[in-house]
Structure 1
Amino acid sequence: MPVTRVMPTEEGDDLIELVRDIAEKELTPRAAAAERDASFPRDVFLTLGRAGLLSLPYPEEFGGGGQSAESYLQVFEEIAAAWASVGVGASVHALSCFPLATYGTQQQKQQWLPDMLSGELLGAYCLSEPHAGSDPAAMRTRAVRSDGGYVINGAKAWTSHGGHADFYTVMARTSDDGGRGISCFLVPADTDGLSPASPENKMGLTGLTTATMNFDDVYVPEERRIGAEGQGLSIALAALDAGRLGIAAVATGLAQAALDVAVEYAKVREAFGKRIIDHQGLGFVLADMAAAVESGRATYLAAARIRDRGKPSTRESSIAKLVATDNAMKVATDAVQVLGGAGYTRDFPAERYMREAKVMQIFEGTNQIQRLVISRHLAR
């Protein structure tokens, strides 16, 4: 059932109505088949982009929506409730635009950001490596100065939209000075030497292509370096604060979808002469599921409001990601249990939600890393 939302503006209300209309017509009818066939829905991202739903966090002067985190995150949640792979993709695109929009020079933003926010282009974010996921400072992909630019060699793992994106925001090592030796680059997809490996064969989110991106003597002009040389890790960590809120919203949308399926089933399935929702044991399970969804939503919105006021929100973003994704995993698992044997079949989407929820606890920093971030803030 539709979530009751209190948006901060009337424009926010209009956005929710728009995304629900698109979700009903374009997302929900296609999700199950695309996930079954591992089919990447590039046209869906074009539809969302042309509707302005992929550029909501960014300034209107460059073609963005100029929306607050409190508003755009709820849009991400609505998209994810209809199709989690697309919700994650929307969050990834926003993440890939963040370094240029936040750290780029005025000239760089004027030159590239409008195309990135227009809806015609799709972005990807290259940070993790096969041996450097939770520890990005250990990355080995290297950018060496050459002919007024840099030549990048290495490999970036777990790249969402890998092979389908139009541009890649890439973190690469420019010196051996640990975390201070990493820089950020904006790399067009058609650059010579940039190629995707075969897509990962994943447990869930199979409609979202994930692949390692290989950099073999990829030349990038110096003008495509974002921020100062050596500033890349701080840019990446700031981007992850925003990205973690995006995943918290997406996970909450997925959890809401799982709850809705469970409630709908429990209202029509009968046992011992009455609907199973009317049995207290199962009714309490559903009540706990509803509480988990609402608490995830409240947590990410609280962090979003802090972010919107320009206050530091690293700890709050980690808490939101931790709470929302752990809750999503629990809710999706319980949804399978509520449906019983039917929940274990692909006749219902509950099993897909359970598979999709698992990775929410892993990407944008595992939930163990979130606990580390939170505990370090508490120790200050």
Structure 2
Amino acid sequence: MSKRDYYDVLGVSRGAEAAEIKSSYRKLAIKHHPDKNPDDAAAEEKFKEAAEAYEVLSNPEKRRRYDQFGHAGNSAAGGYGGGAGGMNMDDIFSQFGDIFGGGGGGNPFEGFFGGGGSRGGGRRVQRGSNLRVKIKLTLEEVAQGVEKKIKVNKQVACQTCDGTGAKDKSSYHTCSTCNGSGSVRRVTNTILGQMQTTSTCPTCNGEGIEITAKCTTCKGEGLTRSDENITINIPAGVSEGMQLSMSGKGNAAPRGGIPGDLIILVEETPHESLKRDGINVIYDLYINFADAALGTSVEIPTIDGKAKIKIEPGTQGGKILRLKGKGLPEVNSYHKGDQLVYVNVWTPKAVSKEERDVLEKLKESSNFKPQPGKNEKSFFERIKEYFE
């Protein structure tokens, strides 16, 4: 089943501002929240779908990729791409709690639906930052897809303290203020009855733990830097400027949080003979006047190697020959473009006396006088014919 357009899911236009997107998501999340719709699978699915749409459209970089490439822009190399079912409740509560002003990410809706505690406390789950790398690809690698192995220096969990940031186990314990929930609740009596509010624990800042003595290696951050070898599978058909995402391959988050993503920016290395035009490949072929008049066979480069093509007698300069299926594939598709061979008839800038004598005789022949429109279609007619 194909995904719905994220803008349609949230009911906003493509030019919607961040505040409008946030407000629309908030309304949908409250409407379809599972606590408000118990045992309603359809409502839960809509709740997840809205969360996935908001996760992309609220992020300027992911939104730009989505606007340019659609759903494939954030999933080509292991990004979200899993549909509404790809996000679980813990993901949603931990990442989007801030828009409800709730308790740091556990269940930000408890203030709306009277608690219930069915999904645990409100401990804040931190997220690591994203990493960005550039990958240079040849035209051949773009055509076939390629596996690249790179070394990335990034933040990883501290080996000394196992990512806790504490000097030892006795220095790492549950927050005494919130009892590990990461949030504190207050009940206020009003004329409408009791009102319950939830806020981030001021003692542990929503993490649910306290550290009395910091690790000497990471200074209490829970993170150190290290090199990691990462294998990147680049799909065939990517293009210059496209960004791919590998989920969880970015910087680690302290205390077992969610790792960031690795963003891969594609750069193309120019080919010595071929030029790219979308999924088509262009080659400029230069032949001399004699070969154009008499016909010949020539060998030309293609992405797959060399290919021999036939030049018919009387070929005119500007003629376009098509090698079907010799272009580039579309991303995540079996469709391939063509190689277009632009025929250019080379005119020498200087000739010898003998060559001049021959040419003087030839130009007097009626067969060598230009006859436009008689035997050959115009350049624009050939272009129109090709695309039709």
For the aligned pair, the TM-score class normalised by the smaller chain equals: under 0.3
Structure with a larger share of its residues in helix: 1
Structure with a larger share of its residues in strand: 2
TM-score, length-scaled by structure 2: 0.23
Query: Greater RCO between the two (CA within 8 Å, min separation 6)?
Result: 1
